[in-house]
Amino acid sequence: MDKFLINGPCKIKGKVSISGSKNASLPILAATLLFNEPVIIKNLPRVRDINTMLNLLKSLGSKIILSKNKKTVTIINKKNMKTFASYSLVKTMRGSILVLGPLISKFCKSKISLPGGCLIGARPVNYHLSALKKLGMEYKIRDGYILAKSYGKLKGKTIKFPRISVGATENSIIAACLAKGKTILKNCAVEPEIKDLTQFLNKGGANIKWSGRTCTIVGINSLTQTNYTVMADRIEAGTFCVAATLTKGSLQIKNLDPKIINTELELLKKVGAKIKTTNSDIFIKGPGKIKSIKNIKTKEFPGIPTDLQAQLMVLMCKSNEKSSITESIFENRFMHVAELQRLGAKINVVNNKAYIKGNTKFIGAELMSSDLRASVALVLAAMVAKGKSIVGRVYHLERGYENIENKLQKIGVKIKRLKY
């Protein structure tokens, strides 16, 4: 397993282009199962989770044609597709559950392994299953697999999610596209990635409309040939914004609409960062002194995303006073705390709240990644630590950050891949 060697402290400067969104690409790729005609998806990030999803689609019978740079894919579905998603493909990625909706909607049956992915909480699939059941799916769980079927087409219903769930919202929207009649989904997640999914589906002929957290889908018979460009990755953009602030550096972040991370930018302004934006660029300069935020709380969009919690914790370690972070989305997302403590962080976790003592002087150490976002937080911490740090299990990083070490090297980070 490869590791990263990082020599700190670093001060970053330069330009970085943001890749396509992993979290938007995964549901869009899953939704291509609904199509009878070829679909072209552009601006895919070259990360492990995308490869996993493409391999899953291939195993179901889709023909996958990648461009030379692997950022554009043409997907052509066979007439007789398979409906079995094995554990070997599903075990490494939670997003694989998103094929359940399109398979049951189009083929009226599916056998799919319960998903794997990062060890950051239960992430129960019961919200997915409950919503799809209301649309007409019957299921049982046996030997780690969801065995699902429906008698004919799914039928539109009004469904209110008991809790806001990104994955359940996506799965239900995809499934409802080919259902009979009208489906009304209430208390939906409204993340930009979900809006990207619905724009893709509408471009293929779907009938989806939004009003606040309510999504209305009128079912159609089939979707038509289309091509679509995936939105930029707001979590990658937010990570680089935190990096510039943390290292007191200066960065131009290119190729995204700054509005999709407006909440994060406003928080970084409070910390002291100087920020200017255009329609597709962010210019950010870190402050001389990082101001603490008394209580940061992760929330569903448009709040602070849970996927930036670990990065913001590193930032608060270097702030001028005490602070706290409340994790309200996942119950087990402080696994990076122990590793930050190895660098010298003073953090006390009580239930879902972390209390952070500021003015931390990080000293380089050997570190172990536990999940995707925790791993990038350890890289950030190593960037401002004194001396050498080694970050292990970088395969976690490769699940969601495209070409991360090259991007960091180009803006002044002394980072090197150690191959094992």
> Could you give the CA distance from residue 224 to residue 268 in angstroms, rounded to a whole number?
43
Q: What is the structure's pLDDT at 420?
A: 82
Q: What is the structure's pLDDT at 119?
A: 42
The string of DSSP codes covering 46-104 is: -SHHHHHHHHHHHHHT-EEEE-TTSS-EEEE--SS---EE-HHHHTT-GGGGGGHHHHH
Helix, strand, coil % over all residues of the chain, rounded to 5: 35, 25, 40
Residue 107's identity, in one-letter code, is F
Go through the domains of the chain in sequence order and give each one's CATH number: 3-19+232-414 (3.65.10.10), 22-229 (3.65.10.10)
pTM of the entire predicted model:
0.95
Q: What is the structure's pLDDT at 221?
A: 96
Q: What is the structure's pLDDT at 356?
A: 98
Q: What is the mean pLDDT of each run of 10 residues along the chain (420 residues)?
A: 95 97 97 97 96 96 97 95 91 86 97 66 76 97 92 97 95 98 98 98 98 98 97 98 98 97 98 98 98 97 96 98 95 90 97 96 95 90 98 91 96 95
Where in the sequence numbering do the catalytic residues fall?
Answer: 118
Q: Residue 152 CA to chain centroid, in angstroms?
A: 33
Q: What is the structure's pLDDT at 123?
A: 52
Q: What is the structure's pLDDT at 117?
A: 47
> Could you give the CA distance from residue 228 to residue 117 in angstroms, rounded to a whole number?
27
